[in-house]
Amino acid sequence: MISSLITRAQDTIKYSLNLHDVVTMAIEQSSDVKYAQNTNVNYYWRYKNFKTSNMPKLVLSGELPTFINSIEAVGQNDGSTDFLKVHSLNTSARLSLAQSIALTGTYISASTSATRFEDKIQHSTQFNGSPLSFSFYQPIFAVNWLKWQKKTEPLVYDEAQRSYIETIESISLNSMYRFFRYLLVQTNYNLAESNLKNSTINLKIAQTKKDIGSISDNNYARNELAVLNATKALNRARMDLKNADFELKSYIGLPLDRKIDLQMPLNITLFEIDSKKALEEANANRKEGSAYKRRLIEADRNLVSAKRSTGLSATLQGSYGLANRANDLPGIYKDAPLQQYLGLNLSIPILDWGASASAVKLAESSRNLVIYEVEKDRTDFERSILVQVEQFSLLKDQLITAKEADKVAANGYLIALKQFQNGETTITDLNIALSERDNAKRDYIYSLQSYWEAYYKLRILTLYDFETNQKIGYVNPLLSKSK
C-alpha cells in the first residue's frame, strides 16, 4: 500500500532540469562515460605494465623432486650409447636477478643455482651448481625496441589522458543536442496545447456569432478546421515528445518513469575569446600535441628498423661465474672453478635482389608522408580552432536578435488573438500571427542551441574553460579505485 502511494505520488511530480543538470547527469551516469572510464583504465594499466617491465626481476625457479624409473639412452665414456635402467630422484633450484637496459638494449642477469641428483641403483648422491654467475645478451646493429618504447609509451599514455577529457566533453556536447531536441519538442507541445485551447475558444465565439447570424458559414468552417488542425498538431507533438523523452533519459541514465520538464538555458555569459589564447591552450591541452610527436617518432623508428634489419646483424653473448660439483651441498661452494663464455653471432646478407634497398626506400617514403600528414593535420587543426572562435563571436548578435524577435512575435500573436476575438481581424491574419510566433520561438531555441553548440565545441577543441579561465580536467573514479 505504501509503495503504491509513493509511485502514485511520484507520477505527479515533475523534475525541473536545466542544461547544466542534464550535462552533469550524462557525465556522471551515462553508458558513454562508463565506456570512456574503462578505456582510460585500460591505458593506465598498459602504461603501468610498460614501466614495471623495465624494472629488475627476481625469480625463483626449480624442479620439485623428479622421480625417474625407466630404460633410457645413456652416453658412455667411449662415446657410445647404451640403454640402461635408470632409477633416480632429481631436485633443482635457481634464483636469478635480471634487468633490461633501455639505453643500450642490453639484457643482463645474475643467478645462483644448485642441483641434487640421487641414483637409487648405485645408492649415491651428487650435487652440482653455480654459486654465482653473471651473463649478458647484447644485440649489435639491431633496433633497440626498449629505447623506442621509452619514447613512445609515455606519449601514448598522455594521449589517453587527454582523450579521456575530450571524450567527457564530447558527452557534454551530445547531451546538449538531446537536451535541445527535447526542449524544441516540448516547446512544440506547449505551443500545440495553447493553439488548441485558443482555437477551441475561437470556435465557441464563432458558434455564438453563427447563432446570431453575424458570421458566414465559410468563416465558421475555417474555425472548425483550425480546431482540427490544432488537434492533429497536438497529437503529433505528443508522439514526438515521447520519443525525445525516451532518447534523453536513456542517454543520461535517468529512469523512464521520471517525469521531467526542461528549462530554457537563458543563463548565458557573452564573453570574448582571444584566438591566440585558444590556439595556445589547444596545443598545450589536446591529444594532438602528443600524437604528432608520437607519429614522427614512430616514422623515425620504422626507418631505423628498415635500415638495420637489411644489413649486418650481430649478437654478443657472454657469461662469467663459478661452477662446481660435490658429494654434498656445501661442497659446491668450496673452491669452485671459474667458468667463462664469450660468443659473437653474425648474419651478413650477400644477395637479396634489391629487397633491402627497396625496403629502406619504402620506409623513407613513408616517413616523408607522415611528416607531410602531420603538418597538414596541425594546420587543419589550428584552422578549425580559429573558425570556431570566429563563429562563437558571431553568434552573440544572432542570439540577441532572435530573442528580440521572439518577444515581438509573441506580443503580435496576443494582439492578433484579441483582435480576432473582438471581430477586428480575420482568421487568416490570426493564422499568420500564429505562424510567426511559432517560427520565432523555434528560431530562438535554434539560436540558443547554436550558441551552446559552439560553446561546447570550443571546449572540446581547446580543453579549456574560457568562462572560468582554467584548464578542463576530470578524475576517473574507476582509476582512483584501481590504483
CATH code (residue 266):
1.20.1600.10
pLDDT surpasses 80 at 92: yes
Q: Is residue 359 part of a domain?
A: no
pLDDT surpasses 70 at 76: yes
Q: Are 466 and 281 in contact (CB under 8 A)?
A: no
Span of 121-125, 251-255, 404-408 with lowest mean pLDDT: 121-125
Q: Chain centroid to CA 204: how far?
A: 59
The reply to whether 117 and 196 lie within a common domain is no
The reply to whether 194 and 243 lie within a common domain is yes
> What pLDDT, on the 0 to 100 scale, is given for residue 314?
86
CA angle 210, 211, 217 (to 5 degrees): 25
Mean pLDDT score of the chain:
86
pLDDT surpasses 60 at 223: yes
- What is the three-class DSSP state of 58? strand
The reply to whether 41 and 78 lie within a common domain is no
For the four alpha carbons of 262, 267, 272 and 275, in that order, the dihedral sign comes to negative
Please state, in angstroms and rounded to a whole number, the distance separating the CA atoms of residues 52 and 196: 70
Q: Is residue 21 part of a domain?
A: yes
pLDDT band at residue 482 under the 50/70/90 scheme:
low
The reply to whether 435 and 399 lie within a common domain is yes
Q: Which of 306, 307, 469, 460 is CA-nearest to residue 384?
A: 460
The reply to whether 335 and 446 lie within a common domain is no
- How many beta carbons lie within 10 A of that of residue 29, not counting itself? 12
Question: How many domains is the chain partitioned into structurally?
Answer: 2
pLDDT band at residue 348 under the 50/70/90 scheme:
confident
The reply to whether 35 and 163 lie within a common domain is yes
**Facing residues of 84 across strands?**
72
pLDDT band at residue 330 under the 50/70/90 scheme:
confident
pLDDT band at residue 140 under the 50/70/90 scheme:
confident
The reply to whether 263 and 152 lie within a common domain is yes
> What pLDDT, on the 0 to 100 scale, is given for residue 483?
62
Q: Is residue 306 part of a domain?
A: no
Q: Is residue 324 part of a domain?
A: yes
Q: Are 310 and 356 in contact (CB under 8 A)?
A: yes
